[in-house]
Amino acid sequence: MLKLFNTLSRQLEEFVPLEAGKVRMYICGPTVWNFAHIGNFRTFIFGDILRRYLKYKGFEMTHVFNLTDIDDRIINEAAKRNISIGEFTAPYIEYFWEDFDALGNERPEVTPRATEHIAEMIDIIAKLIENGRAYESDGSIYYRIAAFPEYGKLSKISFEGNIAGASERVDTDKYEKEDARDFALWKLVGADEEPGWDAPFGRGRPGWHIECSAMSMKYLGETFDLHAGGMDLQFPHHENEIAQSEGATGKLFSKYWVHSEFLKIDDVTMSKSKGNFFTFRDLREQGYSPLAIRYLLLSVPYRKQLNFTFEGLKAAESTTERLRNFRQLVREARIPEAPADTRAIDAVSAAMKAFEAAMDDDLNTAAALAAVHDMVREVNTILAADGLTTEGKAAALEAIEKIDSVLGIFGKEDCGLLDEEIDALIAERQEARRRRNFARSDEIRDELAAKGIIIEDTKDGMRWRRK
Ligand code: AMP
Ligand code: ZN
């Protein structure tokens, strides 16, 4: 039974989706104005593991992960270069997915972009104006927090004494708000100013928070199961999403809220604005593998802070190498002519139980990894002493595959062949077929298949790809 720490209740809760067997989940994605740093990726890898463990538990997923492709930074950077915001964000969107894929993350089912959902945002704002939870001031539209008494239920921040008209107003915005806490839903934009969209309440552009309310409810419905993101999004972003969505629909927005902690460096939160960050590409250029970076980022449970160090990354590098070697050893293990022996099967099934218990416990990845290492150690001992039985070998390989469907730390199979070597074998196979030496042709096909190379006969000749 999976338990997750729900920020709404501040308690570990059993995860029970609204509809049996299905999970509808939303995770806030990146703002595509620059390269994502590995702090961002700690949060996205946490989201990936949450997704994959839910799949492992048998749930069918609808996972929405948005791209914020409009905000002040994007607008400013595009204006500086004299290009449209779409032209400015396009390469960053491409880089983002390249890094996301290279880090072994699974693509979510729906990956909407804010600028393609303006109409949905306008609809929600219109509803909020209609029911008195939004108002116009100097052409912009603001959320009226005083009209949503539950405001603060997620972040538990107390707003007593910080109410409309108070003399200590901390308003830094250039427009007049009724209450310092009120936030912009729609920002006034001049007639020739870009980017801007026409709305019944005037030409403008959306505030940040409304994007996520619109994109989540469009693809998941007004009420869905799970909403996640980094710790810093709890307030105000997620608090405001709740106010907008529940304020418009009158229904519960998300049943569970899950937030992941920061990646730090020298005990300071890694961030673009502080300049104390590494991107995935920085670390790749220094020769670190995507697998080691992933391993490091998931090695500490998501609710604990993680301090990035190069020693930690180097350790992750040798650990992932050891894991891959282990898989290769098991794969190549010869079956001894020995009596039945269930030691490996027992070790594997104990490890799988421990793995699941750890992941069920609020995705305790550190304990899950400990179970993996226990299994590796025990199976290695058996391998070195008596060898694995057929059943033991099959159980170990199946366990590796199951663990990796969640963690992705063993990575894709390395067939040990270079592209040129595969090309040469395929040329030899074609030649063998031409000479009607089908035995050799089949042998080559089987050898390649065993190494995960799939050969396809197409009208343009033979093609191959790695599994
Ligand atoms: P952004 O692209 O700024 O919208 O951020 C994308 C995600 O990265 C958000 O969910 C943030 O909470 C998260 N994030 C930002 N900095 C860090 C960090 N140092 N560690 C972990 N997550 C972070
Ligand atoms: Zn969001």
| pLDDT greater than 90 at residue 215 | yes
Range with the lowest mean pLDDT among 137-146, 346-355, 418-427? Answer: 418-427
Query: Where does the pLDDT of residue 11 fall: very low under 50, low under 70, confident under 90, or very high at 90 and above?
Result: very high
Whole-angstrom CA distances from 342 to 86, 123, 339, 375, 385 are 60, 62, 10, 14, 14
| Residue 151 three-state SS | coil
Query: Where does the pLDDT of residue 337 fall: very low under 50, low under 70, confident under 90, or very high at 90 and above?
Result: confident
Distance CA 136, CA 143 (A): 9
Whole-angstrom CA distances from 405 to 51, 53, 54, 55, 329 are 11, 8, 11, 9, 20
Please give the single-letter amino acid code of residue 30: P
Q: Look-up: residue for tokens 């740093």? A: 37
Nearest to 189 by CA among 210, 177, 175: 175
- Considering only CA atoms, give the Rg of the chain: 26
Domains of the chain, by residue range, sit at: 3-260, 280-407, 419-466
Range with the lowest mean pLDDT among 44-58, 239-253, 396-410, 429-443? Answer: 429-443
Asked if residue 74 lies in contact with residue 32, where contact means CB atoms within 8 angstroms, the answer is yes
Phi-psi region of 363 (alpha: psi -120 to 50; beta: other; left: phi over 0): left
Asked if residue 294 lies in contact with residue 106, where contact means CB atoms within 8 angstroms, the answer is no
Query: What pLDDT is stored for residue 386 in this prediction?
Result: 83
Which helix (H) or strand (E) segment holds residue 64: the answer is strand 60-65
| pLDDT greater than 80 at residue 39 | yes
Distance CA 362, CA 218 (A): 28
| pLDDT greater than 80 at residue 461 | no
Question: Among 37, 40, 49, which residue has the most ligand 1 atoms within 8 Å of its CB, making it the best to mutate?
Answer: 40
**Ligand in closest contact with the CA of 92:** 1
Range with the lowest mean pLDDT among 126-140, 172-186, 202-216, 227-241? Answer: 172-186
- This prediction has a pTM of 0.89
Cα-based torsion angle of the residue sequence 198, 203, 207, 210 in order, rounded to the nearest 10 degrees: -30
Whole-angstrom CA distances from 3 to 178, 361, 362, 454 are 41, 6, 5, 40
Query: What pLDDT is stored for residue 391 in this prediction?
Result: 92
Distance CA 269, CA 284 (A): 21
Does the Cβ of 4 fall within 6 Å of ligand 1?
Answer: no
Query: What pLDDT is stored for residue 430 in this prediction?
Result: 87
| pLDDT greater than 50 at residue 167 | no
Calculate how far, in angstroms, residue 363's C-alpha sits from the geometric centre of ligand 1.
Answer: 19
HSE (CB half, 13 Å, CA atoms) of 85?
21
Query: Where does the pLDDT of residue 45 fall: very low under 50, low under 70, confident under 90, or very high at 90 and above?
Result: very high
| pLDDT greater than 80 at residue 204 | yes
Distance CA 40, CA 279 (A): 9
Does the Cβ of 40 fall within 6 Å of ligand 1?
Answer: yes
Distance CA 44, CA 27 (A): 8
Shortest-distance atom of ligand 1 to CA 231: 12
Does the Cβ of 432 fall within 6 Å of ligand 1?
Answer: no
**Ligand in closest contact with the CA of 29:** 1
Shortest-distance atom of ligand 1 to CA 31: 2
Distance CA 271, CA 268 (A): 9
Burial (Cβ within 10 Å: 0-12, 13-18, ≥19) of residue 173: middle
Query: What pLDDT is stored for residue 262 in this prediction?
Result: 98
Query: Where does the pLDDT of residue 169 fall: very low under 50, low under 70, confident under 90, or very high at 90 and above?
Result: very low
Per CATH, is 3-260 categorized as 3.90.1010.10? no
Q: Which residue, by CA, sits nearest to atom 18 of ligand 1?
A: 39
Residues with CB under 5 A from ligand 2 (ion): 28, 212
Q: In the CATH hierarchy, which top-level class contains the domain 280-407? A: mainly alpha
Instruction: Share the mean pLDDT of the chain.
Output: 93
Distance CA 307, CA 264 (A): 5
Nearest to 31 by CA among 155, 140, 115: 115
Distance CA 260, CA 304 (A): 8
